[in-house]
Structure 1
Amino acid sequence: MKSMVWDDELESVAQNWADQCDYKHGHNIPQNSEFQRTKPGQNLFATTRRPVDPTRSLYYWVDEEIPFYTYANNSCVPGEKCGHYTQAVWADSHRVGCAVAECAVKSPFLGYRGVWYYVVCNYYPPGNYIGQKPYRAGATCSECATDDSQNTGECAAGLCPTEYECSRFPENCGRENKCGSTVLACQNGGTPDYDNCRCQCLPQWTGASCQSPKCPVVQQCEQGKPFDYSTCSCQCGKYFSGARCEIPNCRAMGANSLDRYSAWCSDPNNTPKYCDYRLSGTTDLIKYAACPVSCGVLEDFCPGKTCLNGGQLECGSCKCTCPRYFTGQRCESRV
């Protein structure tokens, strides 16, 4: 079983949810947080008495619910609750953050309209998976040295320290703390670097504790293009432009009459190729440069419009470029 340590970002996420005074499970997670992909586990508690310390709820959940839980068949006494207990002791959960909010609305107590207090505790990674037991029975620390990449392989106080714990509290793991009494409280998924006494931030964050977004605006890039946090812009490549890569560079794609609206087209060497939207790798050149419409890269930017007499349709402007001796919007008139 992994040892549990406090996590400031989990506390912040818990506070964001508690402040809404809505007594139900949920999260209000900032964009680009490491918890966006895998949501934390969560325990809730409501009371009309001000909690001295919200973390005391952790002990209440364990003490009150453990008598109702049977490990052998992973069951709970009918009519009782055991989920708070099983999450609190879930073996893989090793980060916790709790918060409390004072609420004057949405009381969960029937007929009560006074002030109530909302305690939220978040756990990461989450637990309480259906059909799984909270831990595996066995000798103390018997699995600390397994292939689990989160563990250090050591045993401390009957629990398995994690790399996360040792990076944030090196003294807990018998390691040198070069930063003295300074605790690196890295936010937004940042990693404490006690060798250099600073936070190593994820690409989208900056600041001493990774508290500030690196880019004032994060664009949702189109066409599957990546957002580059070093330049705060979409990396559109050769064939698209615009803040979100929403503008096709039609000439770069060879869209002026190279695409015959057929499943067949030619690559730059005029070799017939079949346009398959599943093509990838080096065949992207065929998709983008030779037949963007029929390969599903682009929509028809000029629906229903065609050029006559050998004219070429420019997809950016939807104008026909007419050959010699012809004119008109569709090259329909002979000069």
Structure 2
Amino acid sequence: MHCEGEGGGDGDSDGPVLPVYRNIQDSHGPDSVKRTTKKVTSPRTYRFQGTAVKTSRLRLLGLTYPRTQQQGSFEGVRSGGGGGGAGRIMTPRDCRLQVALVVMVTALLHLSYTWRTDRRPKLFGSKLRLRSLEPAKYRIQKRLVQFHNFFRSKVKPPASNMLAMSWSSVAAVDAQRWADSCQLLVHDDDRGRTVEQFGPCGQNIFVATHQVPWFFAVKTWWLEKDNFTYGGLKNDLTVVGHYTQMVWHSTHQLGCGLAYCAKAKPRPFYNYVCNYCPIGNYLESLPRPYKRGIPCGSCPTECKAKRLCTNSCPYGDLWVNCKELQMAFSSWLCETRTKEGLERLRYCRATCLRDPKVC
């Protein structure tokens, strides 16, 4: 590092007298030390790599460099101030080391401050408390619905009949019961996730060795979109099923549960479960889980945020083939004059009543 003094000469202005040590050649022997004195004006300005610094500031660092008249070189100066106390000779190397030390300490202090004030949420770990993720809390329920509606509104190509989702306490009870069972990546059977008005509900599961935000679990399901081709005939349900259930157009009720499985083998895990009603992922409709078109094109007068429909049915078909039966045996399926006909109607209400809502 080059240290060059500038400003202030050997004038008559008052200033402290500093002892200066000069190596000189003497006829009486090898290098001997001769003590001289020199006035230094206070404060004086010196320059470190082009930056002017006052003498008073240099003294805070233990640095004072008066310029000698001989060849314009710098000489070490005792840093102990006036008086007879002994001090260490400062050299240009000391200058570089001390300035580097100051820069290093400043950088460390800045990094320490940045680390302490960084408010980005921790992705996982013990600091993310389990009770802050429990779906029994209204705040968590609201966020889960918001997460799902956000992703449902972002499908590509856009959907014209995508329903907005809402929370279902009935579906949440079933999801929590299954999460507590601690079955590692095993789905509940249809009877365990059946609700009266919709029949069986769909189910997504996510497991983690640490607590993670619900958004991380939901987005993990959503990212299966990268494996999905709208209208494609080769979509594999095992690699796109979480995504397609999330964006199934007629699904509009959501309930979730979370449990810590401390006794699970081979190691404990956190079990995230969400149930979706009515169920989706019908194989015949898997290539097109929603109708492609302008957002809310199927519900222009009942639209939320210009992206999601709000005209959902309060019930659903309990038989998976109601639409096929209605097309083939309409009068038989939906007739209401016999006990058997009323029974069939109960299982195919959405199809037989032809509700204008999205079912």
Which TM class, normalised by the smaller chain length?
0.3 to 0.5
TM-score by length of 1: 0.40
* Greater RCO (CA < 8 Å, at least 6 residues apart): 2
Judging by fraction of residues, say which structure has more helix.
Answer: 2
